[in-house]
Amino acid sequence: MAGFAGLTFLALCLPFFGALIASVIVRRFGHNAAWPLALLPALAFLHFTRFLPDIASGQVVRGGFDWVPSLGLRFSWLLDGLSLTFALLITGIPLSVSAAIGPPCTPNAFEISDDPNNRDLTWVSGRTPVTTPARSHNR
């Protein structure tokens, strides 16, 4: 069970780790960074789905380890139905968003006009404006 508690601690820390390495991943992979960054919530999501049978049967899963034993501090966690629901939501939503935005984020898919008076974000193939600049309506 000590290894399982360690995996759960790692799953809890994965979003923070992902935030720390996101800029490096984006620099390395550019517009394709959504795919490697989606691996972190995917791993956490898969780990938390392993608790579904126990929680569905009405059990409460507890774990933890001594953090600073000399001070009596312990890192502990508890999973019941509500906390597992939130854990799956928090890890599943970024996974689905990354999967949804990953393919269309290709280099040169969007460009911004060089004209400082025109702030249109235009689709390169066909030049259809996605947004239009704010214009004053002087009558």
Same domain, 90 and 139: no
What is the pLDDT, as a whole number, of residue 81? 93
Same domain, 38 and 22: yes
Which residue carries 């959504």 as its tokens?
Answer: 34
Same domain, 29 and 58: yes
Q: What's the whole-model pTM score?
A: 0.65
Domain range enclosing 87: 2-106
Bridge partners (DSSP) of residue 112 are 121
Same domain, 23 and 67: yes
**68-126, pLDDT tens digit by residue?**
989 999 888 899 999 999 999 998 888 787 777 655 544 444 444 555 555 544 444 44
Higher pLDDT, 75 or 130: 75
Same domain, 51 and 76: yes
Same domain, 59 and 120: no
- Domain count of the fold of the chain: 2
Same domain, 101 and 40: yes
**14-62, pLDDT tens digit by residue?**
888 888 998 898 888 887 787 888 888 899 999 999 999 999 999 998 8
Same domain, 113 and 134: yes
Same domain, 74 and 9: yes
